[in-house]
């Protein structure tokens, strides 16, 4: 079957197409991963504190808007 396909496609062009396909696939697979940006513990704590303060503020706003007592 392979010789028949090569005759139909033109032999060399088929081999070149397969070689380019293999090269592009393996080239992408061997790409090194990008380093993940690191955060210090202070940055993590600061982000967590800001998020917690926003959450508390949203809770207060909901309690005022609905007329319910806050926790």
Taking only the tens of pLDDT, the chain with its 71 residues reads 556 655 555 556 666 677 767 666 666 556 677 888 888 999 999 999 999 999 999 999 998 887 755 55
Q: Quote the tokens at residue 33.
A: 């991963």
12-45 core/surface letters (b: 16 or more CB in 10 A; e: else): eeeeeeeeeeeeeeeeeeeeeeeeeeeeeeeeee
Residue 55 CA to residue 16 CA, distance in Å, equals 60
| pLDDT given for residue 63 in this prediction | 86
Predicted structure pTM score = 0.41
């Amino acid at each position: 079957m392979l010789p028949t396909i090569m005759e139909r496609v033109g032999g060399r062009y088929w081999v070149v197409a397969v070689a380019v396909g293999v090269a592009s696939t393996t080239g992408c697979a061997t790409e090194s991963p990008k380093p993940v940006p690191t955060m210090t513990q202070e940055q993590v704590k600061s982000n967590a504190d800001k998020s917690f303060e926003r959450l508390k503020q949203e809770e207060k706003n909901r309690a005022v808007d609905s007329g319910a007592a806050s926790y």
